[in-house]
């Protein structure tokens, strides 16, 4: 898709100014196409995608992959792209790295198994749990919700504040 699209280090994909040949009722002519920022969609797995078109054929690509291909060297020809901060929507080049499948699958396991504290609204610790999963079982909520609260993405889960502890 070189010559048709460019991507920047922020994860934005742009069509470039170009001309295309059009066949309209037997008449062939060149039609200019103005470059613009491409719309991105959210894949069912939570990653941003962009749909690229060339020669009348469309292809949907993961934005993090094309950012990595454009800005991150891959001398070992590693197959996967990892989001260092584990945020699938953060496609900044500085947040991406090439890796093996095994590395990608196990990346951040230690972060997810951190101990967590349940606190009242004044910040007093009420209970401690070995992991977000343990806390989720007791609270009857999804462990992802508790992890989000620990990271500050959500304020309160089931009337309590949450934080990671050492």
Q: What is the pLDDT of residues 154-163, one digit of tens each?
A: 778 888 999 8
Residue 137's alpha-carbon distances to 5, 51, 66, 119, in angstroms, are: 47, 40, 39, 17
Model pLDDT for residues 33-76, shown as the tens digit of each residue = 888 999 999 999 899 999 998 888 999 999 999 999 999 999 99
**Predicted confidence (pLDDT) per residue in 126-163, tens digit:** 999 988 888 989 999 888 888 888 888 777 888 899 98
Residue 63's pLDDT is 98
Tell me what percent of the residues of the chain surpass a pLDDT of 90. Answer: 48
Inter-CA distances, 22 with 14, 32, 34, 88, 115, Å: 22, 10, 15, 38, 62
Q: Look at residue 90 in the predicted model and tell me its pLDDT.
A: 94
Residues in the chain: 166
What is the chain's mean pLDDT, rounded?
A: 89
Predicted confidence (pLDDT) per residue in 83-128, tens digit: 998 889 999 999 999 999 988 887 876 555 678 899 988 889 999 9
The candidate with the shortest Cα–Cα distance to 163, out of 88, 90, 154, 86, is 154
Phi and psi at residue 110, to the nearest 5°: -65, -35
Q: Within 10 Å of residue 73's Cβ, how many Cβ atoms?
A: 7
Strand partners, 60: 51
| Residue bearing the bigger pLDDT, 67 or 26 | 67
Q: Are 2 and 52 in contact (CB under 8 A)?
A: no
Per-residue confidence (pLDDT) for residue 110, from 0 to 100: 53
Which pTM value belongs to this model?
A: 0.61
The reported pLDDT for the residue numbered 8 is 96
């Amino acid at each position: 898709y070189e010559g048709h699209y460019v991507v920047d280090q922020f994860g934005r994909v742009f069509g470039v100014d170009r001309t295309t040949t059009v066949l309209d009722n037997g008449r062939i002519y060149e039609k200019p196409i103005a470059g613009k920022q491409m719309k991105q969609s959210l894949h069912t797995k939570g990653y941003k995608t962009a749909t690229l078109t060339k020669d009348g054929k469309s292809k949907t690509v993961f934005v993090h992959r094309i950012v990595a291909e454009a800005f991150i060297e891959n001398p070992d020809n590693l197959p996967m792209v990892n989001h260092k901060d584990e945020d699938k929507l953060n496609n900044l080049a500085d947040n991406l790295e090439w890796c093996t499948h095994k590395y990608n699958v196990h990346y951040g396991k230690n972060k997810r198994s951190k101990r967590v504290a349940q606190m009242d609204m004044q910040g007093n610790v009420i209970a401690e749990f070995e992991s977000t999963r343990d806390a989720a079982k007791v609270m009857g909520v999804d462990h992802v919700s508790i992890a989000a609260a620990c990271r500050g993405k959500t304020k309160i889960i089931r009337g309590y504040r949450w934080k990671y502890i050492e």
